Amino acid sequence: MINDKYEYLYDNKEEPDEAFLRLFNIIKILRIECPWDKIQTHETLIPCMKEETYEAIDAIYNKNIENLREELGDVLLQVVFHGIIAEETSEFELSDVINEECEKMIRRHPHVFSEKEDKSIDKVLETWENIKCSEHSIINKTDKLRSVPKTFPALIRSYKIQKKAAEVGFDWEDINGAIDKIDEETIELKEAIIENDYKHISEELGDLLFAVVNVARFAKVNPEESLVNTSEKFINRFNYIEEEALNMGETMEKLSLEEMETLWNKAKEKGL
């Protein structure tokens, strides 16, 4: 049953500004009347922000446009939610967020919004980075590395850190040096495992992962996407083993490791 007091919120709005205002008003009301919404803070919403962002990315991976539309709405909800919380505590207003982003886009695109002529992609990216460094008071090379947020997925963060280090020549001459580093770190990890020292194992494993990311960078492969694809491949092959076991009247638990390995190789032959 529709609450007459909020009947105006049930109508879809066609214009973007009207639709945005509708969402804004709904969240404002929820902050007053919903027990869960009214107690949320910037900190408590962090898991929601992460989850909604990853779900939007998942929709893009799956090429599911309908789901992407839904998930982008959930991401927008988080942005508006944080904006309203900030307004309530007089930190800033949602209009500040939007206008600051508009000004940033204008400032970082002088090739569009000023008389600057060079519009090559490389030059555009260089200009963007220079302006960003100026805005964030990045004055030396180490600051550039530290500017990569710690909250990024570890593979992405290490990739970006290595890329920034390479810009000043701190890099291997070619991919072979990066590959040799994997071999070196693998040996050191094995030694740490023999020692059975958890802290040392963790350190060497991190070094090995960092070295693998370096090879990905040389090969111009996104390590995050590469691992995502491998995880999906693993699931598909695992599913094949389970289905074949059922076809044999068995459960996976009843199969020996050798039998599972045989089925795994068959899945590979089928291109799974």
Tally the domains of the chain: 2
Q: Residue for token digits 């009247």?
A: 249
d(CA 103, CA 109): 10
Segment 93-103 mean pLDDT: 93
Q: Residue for token digits 């779900």?
A: 55
In a domain, 197, yes or no: no
Highest-confidence range of 12-26, 112-126, 252-266, by mean pLDDT?
252-266
Selected residue with higher pLDDT from 252 and 125: 252
pLDDT in tens, 133-173: 677 667 788 888 888 888 888 999 999 999 989 988 989 99
pLDDT band with cut points at 50, 70 and 90 for residue 124: low
DSSP-derived letter for residue 173 is S
Q: Which of 67, 92, 117 is the last residue of a domain?
A: 92
In a domain, 108, yes or no: no
Using DSSP's 3-state secondary structure scheme, residue 212 falls into helix
In a domain, 19, yes or no: yes
Selected residue with higher pLDDT from 140 and 116: 140
Q: Which of 64, 92, 120 is the last residue of a domain?
A: 92
Selected residue with higher pLDDT from 205 and 5: 205
Question: Which tokens in the block code for residue 7?
Answer: 């009947």
- pLDDT for the residue 3: 65
Percent of the chain with pLDDT over 70: 91
Residue range(s) defining the domain that contains residue 261? 225-269
Q: Which of 72, 92, 112 is the last residue of a domain?
A: 92
Decide if pLDDT at 2 tops 60. no
Question: Which tokens in the block code for residue 198?
Answer: 């958890």
In a domain, 113, yes or no: no
Average pLDDT score over the chain? 89
Specify whether the CB–CB gap between 211 and 182 falls below 8 A. yes
Specify whether the CB–CB gap between 186 and 179 falls below 8 A. no
Of 33-42, 110-119, 205-214, which gets the smallest average pLDDT?
110-119
- pLDDT for the residue 109: 83
Check which CATH number belongs to the domain holding 68 and give it.
Answer: 1.10.287.1080
d(CA 225, CA 213): 12
Question: What are the residues whose beta carbons fall under 8 Å from the beta carbon of 160, sequence distance 6 or more?
Answer: 148, 152
